[in-house]
Amino acid sequence: MKLICGNSNSALAEAIAAHMQVPLAQCNVRRFADEEVFVEIQENVRGDDVYVIQSTSYPANDNLMELLVLIDALRRSSSGRITAVIPYFGYARQDRKSSPRTPITAKLVANMITQAGADRVLTMDLHAGQIQGFFDIPTDNLYALPEIGKDIQKQKFRDNIMAVSPDVGGVVRARALAKRLSTGLAIVDKRRDKPGSSEVMNIIGDVSDKSCLLVDDIIDSGGTICNAATALLEKGAAEVFAYISHGVLSGKAVDRINSSDLTSLVITDSICATEAVTKSSKIRTISVAPMFAQAITRIANGESVSILFE
């Protein structure tokens, strides 16, 4: 087995390698003067079971290209099996034609990864579950919910907690958390006027005097979560926390979180944290490295992966 990583999230790759007690393979990923990606695998991988760890987060295009070139380099080095380990799958929000004459970029990216030479994909909390079907190769979609559940149980929350979905589309995820915690469920009904902005319309469920746990897969600009937190407090919630799988946090999102009504925001390390994120007193990170380490080990041994989130 070989573990190889690009430049997108080397900290997570090193943590996964440490949990597996397998050193990262020597690999040089650099840029030419015109920013072309160049990859050199610096050890023998012929016939090996290779796992390429690379999130396609910001800068999304650069990190995606690194992933594709890494896979191609491994294929041309006669690797036995190549698994693309993508903790955060970028372009996942473009999973359908949202309006006339628009692309389905998630499918395009899936095709590119397959054509580059990947034999398998391992990812986490896809924005839409059906994206697994965009790949013509085996695809495992892990869930951060078990790790989130463990962290919630370690915290000293009030007894009357409630799982909350920040929109109707995330109800399945919030319901799963509510079932895991044996607690109630509420839904924030909102209307999005344009991308990156949202207006909270109503709260479905009684949140009076509750410790509300907002759960979602992606936080980008932070508008949805911050607006939801304000609306919940206006409806009588005692405090509002947020648990998000992928902390994209682009633009002024961190400033928005810091000045929001949220008590705290917890994200995973699927995306490498920026300096602003690490310095924020309201944002905390939990690691999904143990989960990915177990998943990779199970794939390598031909064992079940779904048992990790049952």
Active-site residues: which are they? 190
Q: Does residue 212 contact residue 241 with C-beta atoms inside 8 Å?
A: yes
Cis peptide before 59 (omega within 30 of 0): yes
Distance from C-alpha of 3 to C-alpha of 13, rounded to nearest angstrom = 8
Distance from C-alpha of 232 to C-alpha of 237, rounded to nearest angstrom = 6
**Helical spans, DSSP H, in the chain:** 10-20, 60-76, 105-116, 145-154, 171-181, 223-234, 253-258, 275-279, 289-301
Which tokens in the block code for residue 99? 């309006």
Q: Which residue has the tokens 């160049």?
A: 38
Q: Which residue has the tokens 């998630």?
A: 106
Distance from C-alpha of 298 to C-alpha of 293, rounded to nearest angstrom = 9
Cα distances from 21 to residues 18, 28, 305, in angstroms, run 5, 21, 19
Q: Is the dihedral of CA 192, 193, 197, 201 positive or negative?
A: negative
